[in-house]
Amino acid sequence: MSVRIHPSILAADFAHLADDLERIRTADLIHFDVMDYHFVPNLSFGMPLFESIAANSPLPLDVHLMISDPLRWAPGYAEAGAESVTFHAEATESPAQVAKAIRAAGARVGLALKPGTDVDDYLELLPEIDMVLVMTVEPGFGGQAFMPETMPKLARLREAVDASGLEVRVQVDGGIDERTISIAAENGADTFVAGSSVFGAESAADQIALLRETATAHRH
C-alpha cells in the first residue's frame, strides 16, 4: 500500500481554518479528532464542526473518536460523510458490533489502540476492519512526544496484517514528524497522522511531501 499522510486539524489555526485546509490539500485525508472529556481528559470537536468542514473540505475526512459509547455516536459520523471512522477498542465491549455499524452507515472502519493495549487481543477482528491505529502517544492532547516503546506492538501488527493477506492499513498517531516517521515506517506503518509538524511548517505542502518521501524510503 502507498504511504498516506493525514494532517490532524487539532493543530490547525481555527481563526483561519479555511486557509489552513487549503494549505494541506496535497495530503490524502484530513484527520478529525473527537474527544468527549470522558474517555480522554480533553474536549475537542463535535458533529456541527464536522458537518461544516465536510461540506467545504478539499479532502475526505478521517474521524478518530476518542469517546465513550462509540456505538451510539460512530454511525452518525459515517452518515454525515466521513470516509473512515476510527473508534477505540478500550471504549467498548463489542468492537465487532461497532465495526459493523460503521460499515453499515457507509464508512470504512478503523480500530484504535492506546499505547498500553495489547494488539494480540484484537487481531481476530482484522477481517472486520479496514485500518488499525496504533497510538504513539496517550490519546487526548496534540503536541506530545512520540513513544518509541510502542514500536514492537506496531511491528507485531504489521506482521499479522501481512500474514492475513487482508487489505488493512496500519496507522500511527502521535508525535509524528520527519524524524519519527522513519521509525514508524520501518516498523510497518503506512498511514501517518501528523499535526504540529504539518501546520507548524512554513510550507505545509513541502512538509507533507517530506513526510511522504521519508516514510516511503523507510518502508520495507
Known binding residues for a divalent metal cation: 31, 33, 64, 173
Torsion, Cα 207 32 176 148, to 10 degrees, reads -170
Question: What residue numbers does the annotated binding site cover?
Answer: 8, 31, 33, 64, 140-143, 173-175, 195-196
Task: Give yes or no: 173 in active site.
Answer: yes
Task: Give yes or no: 33 in active site.
Answer: yes
Q: What are phi and psi of 55, to 5 degrees?
A: -75, -15
- Of the residues 62, 130, 173, 177, only one is catalytic, namely 173
Beta bridge pairs of residue 6: 193
Question: What residue numbers does the annotated binding site for substrate cover?
Answer: 8, 64, 140-143, 173-175, 195-196
CB 143 within 8 A of CB 11: yes
What is the spatial distance between Cα 162 and Cα 176, in angstroms, rounded to a whole number?
23
CB 81 within 8 A of CB 61: yes
- Of the residues 20, 28, 33, 190, only one is catalytic, namely 33
Beta bridge pairs of residue 102: none
Catalytic residue list: 33, 173
